[in-house]
Amino acid sequence: MSRAANRALGGLRRLAGMAATLLVTSFLVFSSLYLAPGDPASFLVRGRSAGPAELAQIRRQYGFDQPFFVRYGHWLDGVLHGDFGRSYIFHQDVSSVIASRLPATLLLVGISALMIAVVGVAAGMVGALRRGTRTDSALMLLVTVGAAAPAFVAALLLRSVFGVKLGWFPTIGNGTGVLDRLHHVVLPALALSVTFMALVTRVTRTSMLDELRREHVEVALSRGTPRRTVIRRHVLRNALGPIVTVSALLISGMLVSTSIVETAFGMSGIGSLLVQSVNQLDFQVVQAIVLLVVAAFVVVNALVDLVHPLIDPRVAAAGSAR
């Protein structure tokens, strides 16, 4: 079989794996409703006064009188069409509740990811290239503390210092207009970044050190290639594989942490919506968000899997040999 066909087959296999993972995920999330004690219809309307007629209507709507797997099929069909049911709190479709809050969270996560990538990789490079120096030791101390500093602690400190004490940044809300929104998102994005910056720094440093030790680096230097070029073309380039794969694993943790950061900064977004919905017993919304977060993780990691052979051709070779 040709290499191209092999690669296509490998890609297809990965996509099939991703679909299977998503299917199991959706099943787990769907089933969670039935773990709740008591009648699922009453569970969905907890905390509100619902008459027998309304309960009967909910039972009909959700098909609670039908077999479990039929209901799952219906639900999955809906989810695949973007229908996550209705929120009894907002009296809206869950999908539109989520859609209205998605941009704020995407902005937060996007800015944060940018900070993590730039600062994390840069700090990791500095640590690796200055290995054993005081700079490196200080950086490693920061990494150890940073990896142990949860988003709510970072949020607390950033708000106290840059929000309340210095008054440089707003401490609450999303803001309106482009610049104001950006102004509002700086501290939350930083708070969200701290832990992950530390982890990316650590991965980058380790991975760069591994590559710096390789003989091909010495060969490149022996051929008169300038050190900076060697570091870019041979060290960082080769270290990229582990950096990207490990960073992709951080996505889910980052998405969940938006709930902490958005709550701490009183922002409106998917994360704060999740917490709010748990508090307001709006189970449909919780279910949808959980599913979206896990799906985002699975999809991103499947994409990274697909891209990995481009970053490291050896992976492609190992893949087609299997």
Partner 1 sequence: MSAQIAGLTAAPGARLRALGGDWLQRLCLLFLVVFVLVAAFAPWLAPQDPTFGDLGAGLVGPGAGHLLGTDQGGHDTFSALLEGSRTSLVGPLAVVLFSTATGIAVGLFSAWRGGWTDTVLGRLLDVLFAFPALLVAILAVAVFGKGMTAPVIAMSIAYMPYTARLVRGLALQEQARPYVAAYQVQGHSGLFIAVRRLLPNIGPTVLAQSTVNFGYALLDLAALSFLGLGVQPPTPDWGAMINQSQDAVLQGQPLSAIVPAVAVVLVVVAFNVVGENLGDRLAGRDS
Partner 2 sequence: MALLEYEALSISLPGTARPVLDGIDLTVRAGEVVALVGESGSGKSVTARAALGLFPAGATVGGRVRVEGTDLVGADAAELRTVRTGTASMIFQDPRAGINPVRRIGDFLTEPLRLVHRWSRERANARALELLAAVGLPDPVRHLRQFPHELSGGMLQRVMIAGALTVEPRLLLCDEPTTALDVSTQAEIMAVLGRLQRERDLGLLLITHDIDLAAAACDRIYVMYAGRIVETATTAELFAAPRHPYTAGLLGSTPPLTAPEGPPARLIPIPGAPMGLLDSAPGCAFAARCRFAAPGLCDQSPPPLELHGTALVACHRADELVDAQPNTLMREDS
Residue 202 within binding range of partner 1, rule CB under 8 A: yes
Answer with the entry of partner 2, partner 1, none that 65 interacts with (C-beta below 5 to 8 A by kind).
none
Closest by alpha carbon to 297, among 253, 259, 260?
253
Residue 195 within binding range of partner 1, rule CB under 8 A: yes
DSSP 66: S
Answer with the entry of partner 1, partner 2, none that 263 interacts with (C-beta below 5 to 8 A by kind).
partner 1
Distances (CA, A) of 240 to 75, 199, 213, 311, 314: 40, 15, 15, 7, 13
Comparison of 142 and 307: residue with beta carbon closer to partner 2:
307
CB of 273 to partner 2, least distance (A): 42
CB of 233 to partner 2, least distance (A): 7
Would you give the distance in Å from CA 224 to the centre of its chain?
42
String marking each residue 212-241 x if it binds partner 2 according to CB under 8 A: --xxx-xxxxxxxxx--x---xx--xx--x
Residues contacting 45, CB < 8 A, separation 6+: 54, 55, 58, 88
Answer with the entry of partner 1, partner 2, none that 216 interacts with (C-beta below 5 to 8 A by kind).
partner 2
CA distance 25 to 23: 5
| Interface with partner 1 (CB under 8 A), residue from 116, 128, 231, 293 | 293
CB of 4 to partner 1, least distance (A): 27
Site for partner 2 in 293-312 (CB under 8 A): 311-312
| Interface with partner 1 (CB under 8 A), residue from 75, 220, 277, 319 | 277
What single string gives the DSSP state of each residue in 132-196?
TSHHHHHHHHHHHHHHH--HHHHHHHHIIIIIIIS--S--SS--SSHHHHHHHHHHHHHHHHHHH
Comparison of 36 and 70: residue with beta carbon closer to partner 1:
36
CB of 253 to partner 1, least distance (A): 5
Residue 320 within binding range of partner 2, rule CB under 8 A: no
CA distance 162 to 164: 6
Q: Helices 270-279 and 251-264 meet at what angle, rounded to 10?
A: 70
The alpha carbon torsion through 38, 43, 49, 51 (nearest 10 deg) reads: -70
The alpha carbon torsion through 42, 47, 50, 54 (nearest 10 deg) reads: -50
CA distance 11 to 302: 10
Answer with the entry of partner 1, partner 2, none that 188 interacts with (C-beta below 5 to 8 A by kind).
none
Residue 228 belongs to what H/E stretch?
A: helix 227-230
- Residue numbers at the binding site for partner 2 (CB under 8 A): 214-216, 218-226, 229, 233-234, 237-238, 241, 311-314, 317
Contacting residues toward partner 1, per CB under 8 A: 17, 20-21, 24-25, 28-29, 32-33, 35-37, 132, 136-137, 140-141, 143-145, 147-153, 156-157, 159-160, 163-165, 171-172, 195-196, 199, 202-203, 206, 242, 246, 249-250, 252-253, 255-257, 259-260, 263-264, 274-275, 277-279, 281, 283, 286-287, 290, 293-294, 297-298, 301
